[in-house]
Structure 1
């Protein structure tokens, strides 16, 4: 049984949680850009020139581009899935996704622990709803843990990975499975404090398709869905991605723009009015859906304009 966050025990149950919280926006920044960069790379690869000579006969820069493109295209599907699943539990972008899922009706079912609300609305799946945060002290019912575990087994929770949460005043016990390896066992039930009768439950088998796909995607992302094979696959992807990044920077360095090169704003102004409108609306939409992405792209544009102005000033002085 677990008495802390079972999803990330090595983080939330240790002192480094303080530092992990500071890295939330960094990881969200990476997740926000990753799928865009992957799709952009696939587009450049698909529309670029085909290889017409052997790898050994290529000039060094062309060889680097071919290796970079081949690795990127091979990893693109996994990188996009990692990006999307990472965004679903990010702080700012994840909130937007949750709001969209709620509006569409793709929310993940949850149990109601509020005994008064459960009595008013009935038990079972009609009571699935998110619980408000309560800061009340949990009741001292440790002596009932074995009985609660037995009741949960009788209710069908047969996973060896079980988390039991003590009830707060006016609330039910919460018992949930957290075995996220295949086949997924994440059923949750609420039990009345005294009679240990089921007041609400959420069974994974009855989730709709989208919540199931999100659950499986996140677990695959974390390397727990298929055990060691999953972890080895993610390790290979991570290693190949680092090679991909190194080749990407090397290619950029050999082809880097000269000092005083045209800034993005001038390239944007050179487009047709229709193209500018499309790209502007797309940037606003993506910036709203992924706020960290929006802030970062605004920072890139401002930095590029500042770079150009400084370069122009140096040119005028000389």
Structure 2
């Protein structure tokens, strides 16, 4: 009799453990959503807009960025820069030649107070079209909001935490979605909008369709993070002055970093700028530098950072949608000799993989199809957030936050937290937030009976 009774009880115990584990995962899925949903909505809206940055900026600032294409040749870069300086007095620090026959030239000027202004000039007659503060375009503001860099490095660290929690959100959501003998809500939506089951199914089906893409966005967004991204960048590129291993950097190096001069690729954010070896001769002018970059085959659309002093260099850099044409060339300002010339082909395997992921993340790798796919994912994230809020609102008890109930077996909470801690080890800031959330949950529920919220 004892054997039969024990055998009969085994499935019941297994079901109880499974139910407890489900509740524990559900509880932490709720916590992940509570932490991330406001930020995910911000990321989805700003990210969806930034996918079409060239189109939107081109439309908003078309009077500055577009000119009439003409058969006459372009004026020399030195003349274009001189006309820009007449409009906004200061030190020119960057020149962007026209990318196409109908594009204007751009001159970045730093005034005595350190403020930077971008002056747009018609390349055919050197007529100044107007000016915008450096990094003052609409899309640059959207980009800063997307990373929370607009609010400083601490806020930027929050994005790293949100990215890690988003990964946990997708993985726990997949477990909750997994079919368990139910006939609906797997790939179909039941009920009507006034019913909770409608929002539950809409949330689950949207999540399982878009979950892999959201996971991809969260992982490929991590290289920009303030702690994890910086460390991985250093690991991917070694300690070779921030350049990928194998790139020739046997030249004098300054303490300036390429990222300080303007936007660059992720792999080169920590790359140092070399110094001109010869300081006794006569420096070449911008016309000669631009001619050298054109002769070396640098793809149009490149920007030229001007030397910052007697030991400075001319740096030509371009980061087009086709990563094969990414390239950075540092020229000695006295000899026009290339000191460092590197391209995407010089990145290591990890750098190439991460750059490819970032390119897809930004909607650049596969043209319009890439943009539309990432836009659909952004819309799916917003739908997930809205359906989660609707589902919670319909389920929550009156006057309560509506946290999912504690599992019947407390030990399952520790098991789930232990599994989540694996992500916390990979992403340290996420790990710290996990510990903090775990302590809050323990303190808040130490006297609550299992099965209660």
TM-score (norm 2): 0.52
Given the superposition, is the C-alpha separation of residues 290 and 267 from structure 1 closer, same or farther in structure 2, using an over 3 Å criterion? farther
Given the superposition, is the C-alpha separation of residues 102 and 215 from structure 1 closer, same or farther in structure 2, using an over 3 Å criterion? closer
Determine helix, strand or coil for the equivalent of 2:178. Answer: helix
Determine helix, strand or coil for the equivalent of 1:166. Answer: coil
- Aligned counterparts, 1:1-318, within 5 A: 1=96, 3=108, 10-11=140-141, 18-19=150-151, 21=153, 23-52=155-184, 55-56=189-190, 60-102=195-237, 109=244, 115-116=251-252, 131-132=271-272, 144-179=285-320, 181-182=321-322, 184-256=324-396, 269-271=410-412, 276=415, 280=418, 283=421, 285-308=422-445
8 A Cα contact 2:315 2:330, kept in partner: yes
Determine helix, strand or coil for the equivalent of 1:23. Answer: helix
Q: Which residue of 2 aligns with 1:315?
A: none
Superposed displacement of residue 117, structure 1: 5.9
CA distance in 1, matches of 2:346, 2:270: 17
Determine helix, strand or coil for the equivalent of 1:201. Answer: strand
Q: From the two aligned structures, give the one with the greater helix fraction.
A: 1
Determine helix, strand or coil for the equivalent of 1:109. Answer: coil
- Alpha-carbon displacement from aligned partner over 1:10-36 (angstroms, at most 9, x marks no partner): 149999965365531232222111122
CA distance in 2, matches of 1:45, 1:232: 26
Superposed displacement of residue 50, structure 1: 4.1
Determine helix, strand or coil for the equivalent of 1:160. Answer: coil
CA distance in 2, matches of 1:86, 1:260: 31
CA distance in 1, matches of 2:269, 2:389: 47
CA distance in 2, matches of 1:261, 1:310: 15
- Alpha-carbon displacement from aligned partner over 1:36-74 (angstroms, at most 9, x marks no partner): 211222233234344359745689333332221111111
8 A Cα contact 2:331 2:340, kept in partner: yes
8 A Cα contact 1:113 1:174, kept in partner: no
8 A Cα contact 2:206 2:384, kept in partner: yes
8 A Cα contact 1:163 1:177, kept in partner: no
TM-score (norm 1): 0.71
Superposed displacement of residue 239, structure 1: 1.8
CA distance in 1, matches of 2:298, 2:373: 30
Superposed displacement of residue 204, structure 1: 1.3
8 A Cα contact 2:329 2:341, kept in partner: yes
Q: From the two aligned structures, give the one with the greater strand fraction.
A: 2
Given the superposition, is the C-alpha separation of residues 280 and 288 from structure 1 closer, same or farther in structure 2, using an over 3 Å criterion? same
CA distance in 1, matches of 2:332, 2:248: 11
Unmatched 5+ stretches in structure 2:
1-95, 97-105, 109-133, 255-267
8 A Cα contact 1:189 1:198, kept in partner: yes
8 A Cα contact 2:283 2:333, kept in partner: no
CA distance in 1, matches of 2:326, 2:173: 37
CA distance in 2, matches of 1:27, 1:288: 17
Given the superposition, is the C-alpha separation of residues 171 and 73 from structure 1 closer, same or farther in structure 2, using an over 3 Å criterion? same
- Alpha-carbon displacement from aligned partner over 1:263-286 (angstroms, at most 9, x marks no partner): 87x8785249xx84x953761x53
Unmatched 5+ stretches in structure 1:
119-127, 313-318
Once the two structures are overlaid, the 10-residue window that deviates more, 45-54 or 194-203, is 45-54
Determine helix, strand or coil for the equivalent of 1:149. Answer: helix
- Alpha-carbon displacement from aligned partner over 1:132-153 (angstroms, at most 9, x marks no partner): 589xxxx9x9972221111112
